[in-house]
Structure 1
Amino acid sequence: MSTALPICPNCQSDAVMKNGRTRHQKQNYKCRDCGRQFVEDPQWRMISEETKGIIDRLLLEKLSLAGIARALEISELWVQQYVNAKYQQVEQEVQVRPKPKRRLAVQMDELWSFVGNKGNKQWVWLALDAQTREIVGVHIGNRSAGSAQALWRSMPPVYRQCAVVYSDFWSAYTEVLPSKRHYAVGKETGKTSYIERFNCTLRQRVSRLVRKSLSFSKKLENHIGAIWLFIHHYNASLSVCSSFPA
């Protein structure tokens, strides 16, 4: 007794023929009318926009990509490809509210991380507005004066023109920052407490930055993209004062 062939899912035609087997040894079919090839009960399913939105939110939490794939019951390979494309599109420039030209206070610090293995160190350089708590400068690179210069250039012009900067005693800051507006201070002064606290937040929210983790980055571009993605989310979620004292 012959088994009826399935209907084409594309054009609903019954002019369907067998067309070999897939690499998973499932029967493949081909529609004579529209040329569509298909299998019955396919394992692949289209990822909905709702699921993509959930992935976007989970990327801002301390979850590995494998953990996201398990939680949502989707392919880890698909998640990796989706994340690769997303991180490539993340803008690598700070988004902050406009500030008037007046005295501003900025706290700077650098955070150790790595890509691939602990021998490939990648330092996350950050600058934070002490009043609004916005991240106003970011650079990821080595721990040289060149990276300190890149951090300085990453800040909006109003900060480079007006801000007083507090940092630790790392020599790269002294080489780069304007001497009349730079103060190297110890932790006991509290002048860098906000940026140090943000470093803790970053480590707690971005799994790639956890010191003992199986979720570390294997690709520098994704490492940078993940950090920038969280910083954009962080700045956007802040309740920032809309007015500033003269």
Structure 2
Amino acid sequence: MPNRACLVCGSKHLIKNGSVHNGKPKHQCKNCGYQFVANPTKTTVLSETKQLIDRLLLERISLRGIARVTQVSWSCLQDYVNQRLAHTPHQIGISVKSPARLTIECDEVLSFVNTKKNDVYIWIAIDRDSRKSVGFFVGDRTRKSARQLWASLPTIYRQCAVAYTDFWQAYKTVIPHEYHRSVGKQTGQTNHIERLNNTFRQRVSRLVRESLSFSKKLNNHIGTIWYFIHGYNAELAIS
């Protein structure tokens, strides 16, 4: 490859390093390690393909799997998904018909970002009647995160809803005593949120136990879960 040079350092000490999805060979610079494709073809993701990607993001399939199914290059898919997640609203719009009968269930789910040593907890609150998620926060397992979950709830829920949780101490210090009910799993009062936790692990590939589809960046981790919450709430509204 005498006529080719590294796009970063200009070195001509290159080796072949596999190929991309369309068969074009990749090259790697032995000097700086940069990998590149000579004369890359710029592709545009079609509108129909974007709609398919949007639907696949709601299912238990890795981004690599989506790239294979849609035949979109890895770099184009990453760019599109990152933009999609960045523009996903980080708030929940809920309309309440009968505020006098509001009941919510709250729980937290363990996940990780980049490494299993980096624990990240997903705090969720759902409306028992509609099964919709009405509160959400990603953080550690402290009182501060419990407070952020409570703050994410629409005002009507913070003012009127009875909240069922497990015996984790953080809930007691955040949720007003008159609305809070600490219960064990055997009571069945948190069955719906426990079932949703299982749904999350079954349908969001980043949350599957022993998964290789973990998030490397916290922002993408949060954006992915927000994206699923909006999609899941929309499914419940239709059903």
Same fold (TM over 0.5): yes
User: TM-score, normalised to structure 1's length?
Assistant: 0.79
User: TM-score, normalised to structure 2's length?
Assistant: 0.81
RMSD: 2.2
Match of 2:46 among 45, 48, 52: 48
Match of 2:200 among 199, 202, 206: 202
- 2:36 maps to none
TM alignment of 1:222-237, pairs within 5 A: 222-237=220-235
C-alpha deviation, 1:98, in angstroms:
3.0
In the alignment, is the contact (CA less than 8 A) between 1:95 and 1:235 conserved in 2? Answer: no
Say yes or no: does 1:184 pair with 2:171: no
- 1:62 maps to 60
In the alignment, is the contact (CA less than 8 A) between 1:61 and 1:205 conserved in 2? Answer: yes
Match of 2:160 among 135, 159, 162: 162
**Structure 2 gaps, min length 5:** 8-23, 26-38
- 2:169 maps to 171
In the alignment, is the contact (CA less than 8 A) between 1:96 and 1:235 conserved in 2? Answer: no
Distance in 2 (alpha carbons) for counterparts of 1:158 and 1:183: 18
Any idea what SS the aligned residue of 2:99 has?
Answer: coil
Distance in 1 (alpha carbons) for counterparts of 2:161 and 2:40: 59
Any idea what SS the aligned residue of 2:118 has?
Answer: strand
Q: Which amino acid aligns with 2:111?
A: S
Distance in 1 (alpha carbons) for counterparts of 2:88 and 2:43: 27
Count of aligned residue pairs for this structure pair: 207
In the alignment, is the contact (CA less than 8 A) between 1:163 and 1:181 conserved in 2? Answer: yes
Q: Which amino acid aligns with 2:233?
A: N
**Structure 1 gaps, min length 5:** 1-19, 26-40, 242-246
| Larger Rg computed on CA atoms | 1
Identical aligned residues as a percent: 50
In the alignment, is the contact (CA less than 8 A) between 2:99 and 2:161 conserved in 1? Answer: no
Distance in 2 (alpha carbons) for counterparts of 1:55 and 1:126: 26
Deviations 1:148-168 (A, max 9, x none): 011111011110010111000
Q: Which amino acid aligns with 1:142?
A: D
Distance in 1 (alpha carbons) for counterparts of 2:61 and 2:156: 36
